[in-house]
Amino acid sequence: MGRHSMGEADTTSQSDALTLRGVGKTYRSGLLGRGPEHVAVAGLDLDVAAGTVHALLGPNGAGKTTTVSMVATLLAPDAGQIIVGGIDARRHPDRVRDIIGVSGQYAAVDGNLTGFENLRMVAQLYGHSRRDASARARELIDELDLSTAADRPMRTYSGGMRRRLDLAGAVINRPTLVILDEPTTGLDPRGRRQIWELIGRLVSTGTTVLLTTQYLEEADELADQITVIDGGVVKARGTADSLKARFGEAGLQVEVAPESCTATVRTALAEIGTGPPARLDDGTWEIPVAAGTRSAVAAVQSLNAHGVECLDAIVSTPTLDSVFLSLTGAHARSGADDVL
């Protein structure tokens, strides 16, 4: 597979590929927009360095799709500034469209056409000659591992294949910024991993990726930087590790002697935890704690002081799930929720 031919972006510096300043969008419903207003995005700032993956992470209704739709020039912001590759998106949306690729627009162009025909058509819509369009379509079909299905009608494709074809459509014009709205929602773990690999390859060629996701492991795996949004505002931003360090809660798993009094264990653990202890089905206990191994020592001491024998105490490191929960009050999607 041609590792370095997929994106062929010309952004090699670490300058910003995308900048948002004070971007806002309010939806107005009712006749002539005179009904209730809904603020979907409010005063959003974002800086995405060239050649990196930036994930917008948030629960349902957080404002992720609205944000990327504005960057993709599919929706006009009411306020603020969006600069893509040095171009003001509100003033020059056509020029921005020339340098971006957007997912979700190509997979279902025509289900009766083959994957190859679909891609060739997309390339022709971008102005490539039929010959160049064919060559580019074949090249991407190889790179996206779709060769065996390339000459079958699209309607026979699995969800994962459609998603890969859609990604091919998004990169066919060699964009410098690729915008992917929930690129793996609904895919099984294998399909999800394939898309992650493709995104990794895109970025290794210098392309910048802005993606939205509700999956923590996706942001954790792919993103150089994560912006957590909820209710249209930024709750936090940083690398996965820095978010975990700042907002994540460590957990302590404790095993006590089987004959121990439940109420006493609860009391002893409550004294050292940062939240209520929970007794799991297998009889072990779990409790959120301030990060650090001292919590395990503190648990043993507290249990001993209450006359409870502690058999084991292990501190687990903070996960992005606890970050998500503490910032948005919602649990993230696990990825197993919505397999096709």
* Smallest distance from ligand ATP to CB 329, Å: 15
State which residue, 27 or 196, has the beta carbon closest to ligand ATP.
27
Q: Is residue 72 within 8 Å of 84, Cβ to Cβ?
A: no
Is residue 12 a contact residue for ligand ATP (CB under 6 A)?
no
How far is residue 117's CA from residue 76's CA, in Å, rounded to a whole number? 32
How far is residue 328's CA from residue 243's CA, in Å, rounded to a whole number? 13
Alpha helical stretches, state H, the chain: 64-71, 93-99, 115-125, 130-143, 159-171, 189-204, 216-222, 240-247, 262-270, 294-305, 320-328
State which residue, 6 or 57, has the beta carbon closest to ligand ATP.
57
* Smallest distance from ligand ATP to CB 59, Å: 7
* Smallest distance from ligand ATP to CB 5, Å: 32
* Smallest distance from ligand ATP to CB 340, Å: 18
Q: Is residue 170 within 8 Å of 180, Cβ to Cβ?
A: yes
State which residue, 38 or 246, has the beta carbon closest to ligand ATP.
38
* Smallest distance from ligand ATP to CB 45, Å: 17
Is residue 61 a contact residue for ligand ATP (CB under 6 A)?
yes
Number of residues that bind ligand ATP (CB under 6 A): 13
Is residue 38 a contact residue for ligand ATP (CB under 6 A)?
yes
311 to 25, 256, 275, 286, 292: CA distances (angstroms): 55, 5, 22, 14, 19
Subset of 197-256 contacting ligand ATP (CB under 6 A): 214
Q: Which two tokens stand for residue 207?
A: 């392309």
Look up residue 179 and give its amino acid: I
State which residue, 42 or 137, has the beta carbon closest to ligand ATP.
42
Q: Which two tokens stand for residue 333?
A: 């999607």
Is residue 331 a contact residue for ligand ATP (CB under 6 A)?
no
* Smallest distance from ligand ATP to CB 183, Å: 13
Residues 6+ apart with CB under 8 A from 223: 53, 54, 55, 211, 239, 240
Three-state helix/strand/coil letters over 24-35: EEEEECCHHHCC
* Smallest distance from ligand ATP to CB 99, Å: 23
* Of residues 122, 131, 222, the one with CA closest to residue 172: 122
* Smallest distance from ligand ATP to CB 68, Å: 8
Subset of 154-193 contacting ligand ATP (CB under 6 A): none
Subset of 64-123 contacting ligand ATP (CB under 6 A): 64-66
Strand partners, 295: none
* Of residues 1, 59, 55, the one with CA closest to residue 333: 59
Is residue 33 a contact residue for ligand ATP (CB under 6 A)?
no
* Smallest distance from ligand ATP to CB 110, Å: 26
Segment contacting ligand ATP by CB under 6 A, of 16-24, 59-67, 238-246, 329-337 = 59-67
Among 7, 24, 58, 288, binds ligand ATP (CB under 6 A): 58
State which residue, 52 or 227, has the beta carbon closest to ligand ATP.
227
State which residue, 209 or 308, has the beta carbon closest to ligand ATP.
209
Residues 6+ apart with CB under 8 A from 236: 227, 228, 243, 246, 247, 323, 327
* Binding-site ranges for ligand ATP (CB under 6 A): 27, 29, 38, 40, 58, 60-66, 214
